Amino acid sequence: MVFGRSERRRRPAAAEPVTLKILVAGGFGVGKTTLVGAVSEIRPLRTEERLTEAGRPVDDLHGVEAKSTTTVAMDFGRITVHDELVLYLFGTPGQDRFWFLWDELARGALGAVVLADTRRLADSFAAIDYFERRGLPFVVAVNCFDGADRYPADAVRDALDLDPAVPVLLCDARARDSARDVLIAVVEHAMRRGTQQREPALP
Ligand SMILES: Nc1nc2c(ncn2[C@@H]2O[C@H](COP(=O)(O)OP(=O)(O)OP(=O)(O)O)[C@@H](O)[C@H]2O)c(=O)[nH]1
Ligand SMILES: [Mg+2]
């Protein structure tokens, strides 16, 4: 059936989903590209280049010796959480020499995931500092690599000296459901933070 313009105006418009931008950040080789690829319902945009001998002294491949490429600009993916919520995912590059891209990538983001690898926890300090300084809500997701020692979330929280309000989760960046849970935790945390900031301070 073809509706005329006046008919179409009377019909309730289908509700557009809310779209939110989430950053997937963290140190070199923690699994950012893997996580975006695991959850994205569209073929993720990737900007991978081969690691070269020249980068060997600065790129710590401990635990991810099979890694042969690195992100040089960004990852991009999309996930529909439900009918009313779509997340656009922006994965950051992990190498320090691409820090200049972060401000552009972070613009307009609701919140972020800082992926961490307990074998190289110090690699996540810079991302945590970045989001703390900018007041952007973030959660820390420990990517539990095979063979890496497991630590409880509270031990990771202490080691990273996180504010008690920052959620710490354990995840497997390769598993869709696990990655999805992390993204939902970011949205929930950012919403909570937004509500708290709007509420008047208690006398
Ligand atoms: N065993 C295991 N391997 C993983 C996991 N996540 C990623 N990998 C592997 O670890 C390597 C690093 O993954 P990437 O997703 O490229 O990491 P990244 O954080 O995007 O790396 P950069 O963009 O270079 O900073 C790849 O070889 C992945 O196959 C994981 O959860 N478990
Ligand atoms: Mg990457």
pLDDT of residue 41: 97
Work out the number of other CB atoms within 10 angstroms of the CB of residue 185: 19
123 lines ligand 1 (CB under 6 A): no
Residue 122 has what DSSP assignment? G
- For residue 101, pLDDT over 90 is answered with yes
Spacing, Cα 21 to ligand 2 middle (Å):
18
| Residue 83 to residue 15: CA distance in whole angstroms | 9
* Per-residue tokens: 62: 């401990």
Which is the closest atom of ligand 1 to the Cα of 144?
A: 31
* Ligand 1 pocket test target in 67, 99, 114 with most atoms within 8 Å of CB: 67
Which is the closest atom of ligand 1 to the Cα of 171?
A: 31
127 lines ligand 1 (CB under 6 A): no
Q: Under a CB-based contact definition with an 8 Å cutoff, are residues 57 and 46 in contact?
A: no
146 lines ligand 1 (CB under 6 A): yes
Q: How confident is the model at residue 56 (pLDDT cuts 50, 70, 90)?
A: confident
Write the burial class of residue 105 (CB in 10 Å: 0-12 exposed, 13-18 middle, 19+ buried).
buried
Q: Tell me the per-residue pLDDT of 106-145, one tens digit each, with 9 for 90 and over.
A: 999 999 999 999 999 999 999 999 999 999 999 999 999 9
Spacing, Cα 195 to ligand 1 middle (Å):
34
Full-prediction pTM beyond 0.85?
yes
- For residue 5, pLDDT over 70 is answered with no
Q: Tell me the per-residue pLDDT of 154-197, one tens digit each, with 9 for 90 and over.
A: 999 999 999 999 999 999 999 999 999 999 999 999 999 887 77
71 lines ligand 1 (CB under 6 A): yes
Question: Percent of the chain having pLDDT more than 70?
Answer: 90
Residue list, CB under 5 A from ion ligand 2: 32-33, 71
Q: How confident is the model at residue 2 (pLDDT cuts 50, 70, 90)?
A: low
pLDDT of residue 55: 77
Spacing, Cα 65 to ligand 1 middle (Å):
10
Mean pLDDT for the chain overall: 91
Tell me the three state secondary structure of residue 154.
helix
Query: Taken in order 188, 173, 59, 24, is the CA torsion positive or negative?
Result: negative
